[in-house]
Amino acid sequence: MYRVLKRELIVPNIHLLVVESDIIHKNAQAGEFVVVRADEKGERIPLNLIDWDKESVSMLFMEVGTSTSKLAALKSGDAIATLAGPLGKPTEIVEGKKIVCLGGCYGIGALYPVIRMFKEKKNYVTTIIEGRSDYLLYWQDRLKKYSDEFYEITRDGSKGFTGHVNDFLVDHIKEKGADLVYVQGCTYLTYLASQTTRPLNVKTIVGLNPIMVDATGMCGVCRVIVGGETKFGCVDGPEFDGHQVDWDTLLARRRIYLGEERYSLSFYECERYG
């Protein structure tokens, strides 16, 4: 069992989870993930590594279904059944480039270790965070620390640029240029950003979140098609060239357990709330 040091609501539905670990930090790199399981009966779910030190690792998760609801109910001093990692390939290191990093929902937190690494490698980092409204944006100060430029986008206009990321990205890249765009967040955001940068011909790396089971390359559940080839998100990714991803297949595969996910959540909530 792994002791929970902290579980904190950051903004509605997004929680920080800090778990005791004296080993993961030894190999942790930006862009990697861990697998966690709330309890013995639970499902193993992948979460990006947000931060790490000699005593703990931090993850940031969005409460969407049974497993994340179980994690959201944790208090410091509780324990989780599984913490495995680091897993996946780290973000490819580039140096001295102009990089635009874009994050939404849990991806705002997932940007943190990556922009820190990009900044340390002397890249010019522009960070853009987006959300439906200003109260869903977070960690501005943390991210600004490693950003040369920082922007916020809200769809309701409550803060920063009003609208969706595509308009902002197009104008920003046309005006200031970019060697690389890096995106973390829900599948719609990674898809939208990739479609936006394709005609601008700017390489775009996206963190994908296909459904995973073993997360070690054995089961094949996380397969995605990239550049016409089958890849496993857990061992070949989770970051891929967004212009090469077969988005239709990815979106379809993410929905294959929708019925089971709904049933599981209703069962869990009935058990929990009576």
Ligand X SMILES: Cc1cc2nc3c(=O)[nH]c(=O)nc-3n(C[C@H](O)[C@H](O)[C@H](O)COP(=O)(O)OP(=O)(O)OC[C@H]3O[C@@H](n4cnc5c(N)ncnc54)[C@H](O)[C@@H]3O)c2cc1C
Residues that bind ligand X (CB under 6 A): 33, 43, 45-48, 59-62, 64-68, 106, 110, 186, 209-210, 212, 233, 238, 254, 258, 261, 264
* Interacting residue with ligand FES among 202, 215, 245, 250 (CB under 6 A): 215
Q: Is 162 in a helix, a strand, or coil?
A: strand
C-beta separation of 202 from 174 below 8 A: no
Euclidean distance between CA atoms 60 and 241, whole angstroms: 24
Query: 3-state SS of the chain: helix, strand, coil percent to 5?
Result: 30, 30, 35
Binding of ligand FES by 234 (CB under 6 A): yes
Total site size for ligand FES, rule CB under 6 A: 13
188: CB partners within 8 A, 6+ apart? none
Nearest to 1 by CA among 16, 18, 20: 20
**Contact range with ligand FES by CB under 6 A, out of 51-59, 77-85, 141-149, 212-220:** 212-220
Q: Which of residues 13-72 bind ligand FES (CB under 6 A)?
A: none
Q: Report how far apart, in Å, the C-alpha atoms of 96 and of each of 99, 122, 184, 197 are.
A: 9, 5, 21, 20
Taking the complex as a whole, the smallest distance from the CB of residue 231 to ligand X amounts, in Å, to: 13
Work out whether strand 180-184 and strand 98-104 pair parallel, antiparallel, or are unpaired: parallel
The whole-angstrom distance between residue 196's C-alpha and the CA centroid of its chain comes to 19
Pick 25 or 254: Cβ nearer ligand X? 254
* Interacting residue with ligand FES among 157, 177, 220, 227 (CB under 6 A): 220
- Give the one entry of ligand X, ligand FES, none that residue 221 binds, where binding means its C-beta sits below a cut-off of 5 to 8 angstroms depending on kind: ligand FES
Pick 46 or 131: Cβ nearer ligand FES? 46
Pick 112 or 161: Cβ nearer ligand X? 112
Binding residues (CB under 6 A) for ligand FES: these are 212-215, 217-222, 232-234
